Amino acid sequence: MSKQNLKSGLRAREVAVRTLMAVTLKNRPFDVALDEMAGQAGLSPRDRAFVLNLLMLCLRRYGSLKGLLASLMNTGLPKNATWTEAALLTGLAQILLMRTADYAAVNETVTLVKNLEGKEAGFSGLVNAVLRRASREQEKLTQKLNKWPAQDLPKWLFDSWAGSYGKDVAAAIARTLQNTPPLDISLKPDLDAVSWAKQLDAEITPTGTLRRAVGDVTALPGYDEGHWWVQDMAAAIPATLLKDVAGKNILDLCAAPGGKTMQLAAMGAKVTSVDRNKNRLKRLINNLERTKLEAEIINGDAARYVANTPIDHILLDAPCSATGTLRRNPDVIWTKSEDDVKALSGAQARILDHSFKLLPKGGTLVYCVCSLEASETVDQITNFLKRSPAAKRTPIEPHEVGGLVELITEAGDLLCLPSMMADAGGMDGFYAARLTRE
């Protein structure tokens, strides 16, 4: 902790260091840690935005930043020098990735370490030397930082992707995850996409999503009126695989925070949205209120839910490791493990088995996850079809994904990889399979 009240820039950098340690060392949820520490420090909106940007870069490049830091020191830091290491990582990120003014990135980071309690204050000279070298050798060190994208992933995760998609594709995904993603928007289907793309300074993707540069969402045209909502291009595809849902009873399982619920409701469906997380359901309710859309909201366990009204089709957005969303949620890279994936695949199987029992004959169930792990995606469906003789896979057609045939697997499932459409901003990793009951 600091010995004195810090000025604005120092307070912001202290919050960045503390939050980085909370996420990477204690596995604290990123949003919770940042909100708590920014609130305690009384950061202004401008300083909070600076901290958010800095932390996103640090978490996206955490592995390569640590590797570069090790190469800049003759001897490593003592194990208990956690503040110093985190301060150095945030300092390197400012100099090499944000191109912050050297005097601010170096001097304020050094001052921050000087103000630490205990022995770590003595490392301020080392911090000064490392960061000043980074300033002098900026171009050379930036090239070195960007050389091996796989460094920015835990080994188990890169190996998993290499096993599923090949090393070249895994490396391409890793490189895509280093970049800040664009802002994707789902527009209500009764509105003119061309007109709204112009108003939002956006482009229309092949699947109909509007894509623009990142900015203050709440300040954009149509936000207050609820004409649209933020939703990644890949995440917007699964709901459309139920085809014409107008007037039909759709069960949206594991529905919060509600992007797919809003899609279905805007398409004219009678939606029942089920989720066990009360806090996430609050976000769903708020989203429905803003967009003036309706759905029946139920706080319950998708693995035990029993429908009281007839169901035509089901959308199951199963709980998953979320490894497909790492470019938007880079903290997940360092808070998930192989054991988490194994545990989640078991939960997914239970929910899938139960939800399929709720499906009427001739009904369709779309299973989807924002994961790239085989055990949560293709293996999950392969195993389900083996134990469920009444289930049949209904292949996805190219016209259902805007002609992007690369999004469809040989078996006819949806598989979006972050490296796809990389030149146009990429997309989240997403998988979906369409199943019908015969």
- pLDDT band for 360, please (50, 70, 90 cuts): very high
The predicted pLDDT at position 110 comes to 93
- pLDDT band for 372, please (50, 70, 90 cuts): very high
- pLDDT band for 3, please (50, 70, 90 cuts): very low
The predicted pLDDT at position 270 comes to 98
Q: Are 416 and 323 in contact (CB under 8 A)?
A: no
Q: Say if strands 391-393 and 430-437 run parallel, antiparallel, or are unpaired.
A: antiparallel
Q: Are 375 and 345 in contact (CB under 8 A)?
A: yes
Q: Which domains are seen in the chain, by residue range?
A: 8-147 (1.10.940.10), 183-437 (3.40.50.150)
The predicted pLDDT at position 5 comes to 41
Mean pLDDT, rounded, for 227-256: 98
- pLDDT band for 117, please (50, 70, 90 cuts): confident
Q: Is the pLDDT of residue 427 over 70?
A: yes
pLDDT tens, residue by residue, 317-334: 999 999 999 999 999 888
Which residues are paired to 271 by β-bridges? 250
Output 216 or 435, whichever has higher pLDDT.
Answer: 435
Amino acid at position 272, single letter = T
The predicted pLDDT at position 120 comes to 85
Output 195 or 116, whichever has higher pLDDT.
Answer: 195
Peptide bond into 257 cis (omega under 30): yes
Q: Are 294 and 204 in contact (CB under 8 A)?
A: no
Q: Is the pLDDT of residue 159 over 90?
A: yes
- pLDDT band for 4, please (50, 70, 90 cuts): very low
The predicted pLDDT at position 2 comes to 39
Q: Is the pLDDT of residue 401 over 80?
A: yes
Mean residue pLDDT of the chain comes to 94
The predicted pLDDT at position 383 comes to 98
Rg (CA), the chain: 23
The predicted pLDDT at position 77 comes to 82
Distances in Å between the alpha carbon of 62 and those of 65, 68, 282, 303, 358? 5, 10, 32, 36, 44
pLDDT tens, residue by residue, 172-203: 999 999 999 999 999 999 999 999 999 999 99
Across 103-107, 166-170, 201-205, 218-222, least confident range = 103-107
The predicted pLDDT at position 204 comes to 98
Q: How many CA atoms lie within 13 A of 240 on its CB side?
A: 19
Q: Is the pLDDT of residue 1 over 50?
A: no
Mean pLDDT, rounded, for 260-269: 98
